[in-house]
Amino acid sequence: MTTRALVDALDRGDTAALARAISLVENRRAGCEDVLTHAHARVGRRGARRIGLTGPPGAGKSTLTERLVQRYRGQDLRVAVIAVDPTSPFTGGALLGDRIRMESVSLDPGVFIRSMATRGSLGGLATTTEEVADVLEAFGFDRILIETVGVGQTELDIARSAESTALVLVPESGDAIQTLKAGVMEIADVFVINKSDRPGGDTLRQEIEVMLGLRRGNAFRNLPAHHHRSDRRTVGQSDRKRPQSDRPTVRPSDHWEPPVLATVATTGEGVAELAVALDRHRTFLDASGRLVARRRERLAERTRAVVERGLRQWVWEETPAPELLAQQLPEMAEGRRSPYDVAADILEQLRSGAIR
């Protein structure tokens, strides 16, 4: 199938073509950039949303995802799920379990489920995940749920590509919350305490609220800190230009206070509230102009990633850099030259145009 035919099939809503297009993107095969350029012109529909669910293994993210899928399907929305597990030593393992648990929705033609593991690492897992989400959004899915296991750097990068991210914890996470890595708390637009029927849920909620400086009745006194937090995520140009002096006159649309919700995914308890909180967050993003700012920042990041991929390809496949490196290898092996001066040499020749 030519890229043209594939793109046409995507436009006709051919699900087999969709699976094919995603594989193409995951494996960076020929035609991949055509598919992505085609998708790019079709993303950004007002109705489409990308929602991230992240948290430690065993927090019940898959069950929660399934509940959200059921809810969105009840509203006749088309839903895609990307389950990303960059850390599992197993190709199936947890993901296989997910698929079994998602059985109630997996045969629904309005639902598309895709697992990604180390595949896609060719272009960087976070970039590839975002590109796959583009293809899904362009295909017409209204909700794209991106579920990541663990909260390492890759998962944070992946979560950053969603518009709204729920951090899913369990009561047992309580003891560990003090030691949460920088960046994990900041990624959460909504906190979810799943399995909240177990003991410890209230304590965890209090700990999260203390960490956020969000004790009830005290929300606005702590505003500058949250303000700072939001700025970091959106890199909003308009925020930077706004003078300090207007801070006291905060409009509600300028400020997002991450709610801390309790759910029991297995029974469905709290799922409606979660969906509402996610809707509220989207409204906030829209009203505050952050949605636009966030999209721009993502486009800039994507372009940078594509440039860097192209640079690597250029240097190692189209210039004599690999031969220069190979020539120096014996001296490096003998300890007479270091990788750092050899690299500096190669860089200098690339920059000066001596090799091209």
Site for a copy of itself in 1-60 (CB under 8 A): 33, 36-37, 40-44, 55-56
Residue from 200, 268, 302, 320 in contact with a copy of itself (CB under 8 A): 302
Residue from 108, 315, 320, 355 in contact with a copy of itself (CB under 8 A): 315
Query: In whole angstroms, how close is the CB of 141 to a copy of itself at the nearest point?
Result: 18
Residue from 117, 132, 136, 285 in contact with a copy of itself (CB under 8 A): 117
- What is the DSSP secondary structure assignment for residue 28, as one 8-state letter? T
What contacts 24+ positions apart, CB below 8 Å, involve 116-123? 116/26, 116/82, 116/83, 116/84, 116/85, 117/84, 117/85, 117/86, 117/88, 117/91, 118/86, 119/26, 119/27, 120/25, 120/26, 120/27, 121/86, 122/27, 122/28, 123/28, 123/305, 123/309
As to burial, measured by CB atoms within 10 angstroms (0-12 exposed, 13-18 middle, 19+ buried), residue 288 is: buried
| 356 near a copy of itself, rule: CB under 8 A | yes
Query: In whole angstroms, how close is the CB of 122 to a copy of itself at the nearest point?
Result: 10
Query: In whole angstroms, how close is the CB of 33 to a copy of itself at the nearest point?
Result: 5
125 or 208: CB nearest a copy of itself: 125
Residue (of 272, 259, 255) closest to 192 by Cα position: 259
Size of interface with a copy of itself, in residues (CB under 8 A): 74
DSSP string, 118-155: STTTTS-HHHHHHHHHHHHHHHT-SEEEEEEEB-SHHH
Residue from 63, 128, 129, 154 in contact with a copy of itself (CB under 8 A): 154
Distance CA 143, CA 111 (A): 10
197 or 308: CB nearest a copy of itself: 308
Q: Taking CB under 8 A as the criterion, which residues in 177-236 touch a copy of itself?
A: 179-184
Query: In whole angstroms, how close is the CB of 238 to a copy of itself at the nearest point?
Result: 14
Residue from 64, 105, 113, 321 in contact with a copy of itself (CB under 8 A): 321
Q: Which of 74-82, 194-202, 260-268, 329-337 is the region at the interface with a copy of itself (rule: CB under 8 A)? A: 329-337
Distances (CA, A) of 317 to 34, 66, 253, 333: 21, 44, 50, 24
Residue from 88, 203, 222, 266 in contact with a copy of itself (CB under 8 A): 88
55 or 201: CB nearest a copy of itself: 55
